[in-house]
Amino acid sequence: MTTVLVIGGAAPKESGFVRDICERAMDQFLARNVTVILTDTKENLAAAPELVARAADSHELDFADAAACVNWATTFARHTPVHAVVGFREYAAVSVAEVAAALGLPGNPPEAVRRVRTKDECREFLRQHGVRQPELALCATEREAVDFLAAHGPEVVVKPRRGSSSEGVRRVSDPTAMAAAFGEALDAEGLVLVEEFVHGAEFSVEGLFEAGAPHVLTVTQKHLAPGGFVEIGHVMPAPLPGAVEAEVRATVIRALDILGLGRGHFHVECWVTDSGVVLGEVHARQPGDWLHSMLEWIHPGLELYGRWLDDLLGVPAATALPQRPARGAAARFLAPPSGVVRAVHGWAELSAHPSLLAASCALSPGSAVRPVSSNLDRHGAVVVGTGDAATAESLAAQLLTGLRIDVTA
């Protein structure tokens, strides 16, 4: 039997899209008659008994600890041959690459994944190869960050070097606000990344490597909360002029080639500015925020995880990857004002709509609504799939308008 090792492949139902990714991957792997070895933290395995039951075996493992994952996997592989290694989380990417390399299996080069995971190193590497990036500084003191603001203002972005989900990311224009932002972004090494603020519309590019070559599946339009970086909506495919979309795709493909990535999914962010495309962060994983479900909707028949596994195993593809989306999809996220929820109206009607791909609401009477400062602070999602992007965007907004959450400040 062919055995696939999944590093960080369990999640509680309450985790929303993360659990959905784990379930879709399990479905697509088992449909190929492979043996699935599931690993994750003790807490995640305990919270996902349905996934554990479907796997041939499960083991407790910290997916973010690359050394521990390599030690465990090399011991495991002495008595059970492993044919492919996969993982779905941002913080598992390095572990997946290191384990695949240790076992002599196909995967992204560990040094490339480590570079991508460290934002400043990735930016400088791409800049050296001629890819346009925001100016940045790695700051050890608040004074250095304030000096960067003075040189590259009127506003800058302060962020952790290796974070995700917009946690600890702040937009700063006032030097007196730097101390708080600096403290939130400070890492264990005592460093903070400060970047030039790029003015332009934000997009992300979603794709899959096959036979070592990147294949763009779509460009996604982002909607951000006013004045911040929290994503409150997505539209797929993005409504871009043909020439602009071509430039976005070409910029991303060139960057991926420079970075030396060649396996699995990719999710790359960028800005379209008056002077061209500026590359944002690069991720060697599938996108979050239900974009995986939107991708499979707009490309009927596409299996994001099964196709990835086939590539790792060297199984020839029966069909070519799709060139253009056949349908449209959109997502909107719940971010009501802060306070205490008195009542939620309209959820039953919303959740029964036939065009829903996913819907969740974590709020009920008595729930405390905190300020939305990262993607993890949102309180639910409405994801729809229709025949085209414009219709999907309109429907998602309409459904969210019909949901009323009464909050007492």
Q: Give the mean pLDDT of 39-47.
A: 98
Q: In this structure, what token pair is assigned to residue 118? A: 């460290």
* CATH number of residue 206's parent domain: 3.30.470.20
Helices and strands: H and E segment counts in the chain? 14, 19
In the chain, the number of structural domains is 4
The Cα–Cα gap between 154 and 233 comes to 27
Single residue among 175, 196, 217 that ends a domain in this structure = 196
Q: 120 with 41: CB under 8 angstroms? A: no
Sign of CA dihedral 17, 223, 118, 193: negative
Q: Which of 115-119, 160-164, 218-222, 278-282 has the lowest mean pLDDT?
A: 160-164
Q: 38 with 57: CB under 8 angstroms? A: yes
Is residue 168 situated within a structural domain?
yes
pLDDT cut 70: percent of the chain above it: 99
Sign of CA dihedral 394, 398, 399, 405: positive
Q: Does 282 lie in the same domain as 205?
A: yes
Is residue 58 situated within a structural domain?
yes
Is the pLDDT reported for residue 272 higher than 90? yes
Q: Residue 199: which residues within 8 A CB-CB, separation 6 or more?
A: 271, 273
Q: Give me the pLDDT at residue 225, please.
A: 84
* CATH number of residue 63's parent domain: 3.40.50.20
CA nearest neighbour of 72 among 103, 43, 94, 108 = 103
Higher pLDDT, 29 or 362: 29
Each residue's pLDDT tens digit, 350-359: 999 999 999 9
Nearest-5° Cα angle at 141, 153 to 93: 85
Q: Give the mean pLDDT of 361-390.
A: 90
Q: Give the mean pLDDT of 23-46.
A: 98
* CATH number of residue 145's parent domain: 3.30.1490.20
Is the pLDDT reported for residue 165 higher than 70? no
pTM score over 0.75: yes
Q: Give me the pLDDT at residue 292, please.
A: 97
Is residue 130 situated within a structural domain?
no
CA nearest neighbour of 118 among 80, 164, 158, 71 = 164
The Cα–Cα gap between 178 and 107 comes to 40
Each residue's pLDDT tens digit, 299-322: 999 999 999 999 999 999 989 999
Each residue's pLDDT tens digit, 79-130: 999 999 999 999 999 999 999 999 999 999 999 999 999 999 999 999 999 9
Q: Does 296 lie in the same domain as 224?
A: yes
Is residue 189 situated within a structural domain?
yes
Each residue's pLDDT tens digit, 246-264: 999 999 999 999 999 999 9
- pLDDT-based confidence at 243, cuts 50/70/90? very high
> Residue 222 in 3-state DSSP?
strand
Q: Give me the pLDDT at residue 370, please.
A: 85
- pLDDT-based confidence at 187, cuts 50/70/90? confident
Q: Does 91 lie in the same domain as 32?
A: yes
Q: Does 57 lie in the same domain as 33?
A: yes
Q: 159 with 193: CB under 8 angstroms? A: yes
Q: Give me the pLDDT at residue 246, please.
A: 98
Q: Residue 19: which residues within 8 A CB-CB, separation 6 or more?
A: 11, 12, 13, 48
Is residue 111 situated within a structural domain?
no
Is residue 116 situated within a structural domain?
no
Alpha-carbon torsion, ordered 375, 222, 258, 130, to 10 deg? -110
Q: Give the mean pLDDT of 32-41.
A: 98
Is residue 114 situated within a structural domain?
no
Q: In this structure, what token pair is assigned to residue 71? A: 């030690």
Is residue 174 situated within a structural domain?
yes
Q: Give me the pLDDT at residue 227, please.
A: 72
CA nearest neighbour of 340 among 247, 399, 253, 405 = 405
The Cα–Cα gap between 398 and 339 comes to 24
Is the pLDDT reported for residue 372 higher than 80? no
Q: Does 283 lie in the same domain as 203?
A: yes
Length of the chain: 409
Is the pLDDT reported for residue 167 higher than 80? no
Q: Give me the pLDDT at residue 42, please.
A: 98
Average pLDDT, the chain: 94
Single residue among 158, 178, 196 that ends a domain in this structure = 196
- pLDDT-based confidence at 385, cuts 50/70/90? very high
Q: Does 398 lie in the same domain as 363?
A: yes
Q: Does 387 lie in the same domain as 341?
A: yes
Q: Does 264 lie in the same domain as 152?
A: no
Range of the domain at 182: 135-196
